[in-house]
Structure 1
């Protein structure tokens, strides 16, 4: 499945935010058997659980920040909470690009995966998992120099899989 964000809006409503996202989802039924086989692999399931946990964490943080914004007293405190919400949204968008890159990787679309992981890294330069996965995608596409660079960067950030794949 491929999900494309067509439009995204955020507006302040009273003491909170209103989020609106328009998406386009495409499902390619030709690859369902192959994808089902990959899902059975333990590492794919573990990676998906990690992505889901990141998503859930981001959602909880955004909800908590909305509560803080509602209770914020004074313009300075509101601006600080709004800045934190904006930062969390940026990190959430990085996770979405990571997920998209992961889907491309599963489909062996290495160039598209590299592009998606690069967008995730641009949004969150400390996203070690994105460096690891982009490094693997570079290796699979034959660009060993960039693969080693990304895997080393992930390893330096303490990401175990980055070190294992060096």
Structure 2
């Protein structure tokens, strides 16, 4: 009898020890640290600073691939449905990167940079980032950024070959100038990538600073204008949002979502007559791809066409905006309510003169940061139009 009882106790303990680690949620709730290395060989005409940034980008890419396995396991346990690209975006957004070492080795006529990083991964923000990925432009922005990186690398390899084949000093200088332009574009893209991660984590002020730095380096970067406008829009800072959305469509006239949010910003600022043709432009470009935004644009256009001066509706609370306090008060007209949105002091402060370098880059921020457009600290107009669902990023 005693033997049977002892055997039962032992089996119970063993079963408990085996079953506890098998609980996926408990195991995955802990932090995971990933160590990854990246490399890049610097050639003639390139700078050491950007060569090191390229090696760091390669290390981050390796870390994202490893973190993606972690995110995929977590998403399966919690029954999230994430595509391969969505897993990479989530993995990139939840990583905290620390540079462990930077090594330089002479190889022939070039210098090889090796960067080792430690990436700390946590699942705390996976659900929040997943919800933001439901906005179509989020994934479009990620894919475009990856395509830009690939294009810039291909162009650089071609320029290196041209430099080797150049016969005269004049030809070499012309190619070296193009290589310098490629480096500037690469650094600007790195700032856009940094801003994107900050934005999906809700750190709008840091994201604005990063996008401003990208714009200073590459004023033709339409994505930086669009994404910075989205940060202003999320905080109900419509004047600077309008300015950036307008610049985004100037640089990329086929950007449907930029027209949509430009129209929404104009309407929210009381410029409802100006919003009407912009909504129309969105509908012509989008061609029904985004059903929700198409329906909203059509309903707003119908009201604007009936009476532009009286078509404004009371705005719903913008749940995504963390910078504003919304309170309802009884209006002068019987049975009506007005919603007053106030911008807290300091919410639109100009970022510091020197932006931070991309996380873990180990390099200094390039130059003084461009200031956000004037008007970011203005109060939201009282008769604001109903904000459309989700601004997202491009």
- State the partner residue of 1:101: 195
Where in structure 2 are the equivalents of 1:108-119 lying within 5 Å? 108-119=202-213
RMSD: 2.8
Partner of 1:49: 143
Q: TM-score, normalization: structure 2?
A: 0.37
1:89-145 superposed Cα distances (whole Å, 9 cap, x missing partner):
100111111111111111111101101110110110011121111011012123211
Instruction: Point out the structure with the larger helix share.
Output: 1
* Matches of 1:136 and 1:41, distance apart in 2: 12
Count of residues in correspondence between the two structures: 163
1:143 aligns with 2:237: yes
Offset of residue 30 of structure 1: 1.9
Change in CA separation of 1:37 and 1:19 when aligned onto 2, cut-off 3 Å:
farther
Shift of 1:73: 1.3
Deviates more, 1:132-141 or 1:43-52: 43-52
What are the within-5 Å matches in structure 2 for residues 1-166 of structure 1? 1-2=95-96, 14=109, 18=111, 20=113, 22=115, 24=117, 25-39=119-133, 42-159=136-253, 160=255, 161-166=257-262
Question: What is the rounded CA distance, in whole Å, between the counterparts of 1:51 and 1:2 in structure 2?
Answer: 20
Change beyond 3 A, Cα 1:155–1:40: closer
Secondary structure in 1 matching 2:125: helix
**Does the residue aligned with 1:20 lie in a helix, a strand or coil?**
strand
Unaligned runs of 5+ in 1: none
Structure 1: distance between partners of 2:152 and 2:178: 12
Q: State the 1:36 CA deviation.
A: 3.8
Gaps of 5+ in 2: 1-94, 263-394
Q: 1:21 to 1:37 in 2, by over 3 A?
A: farther
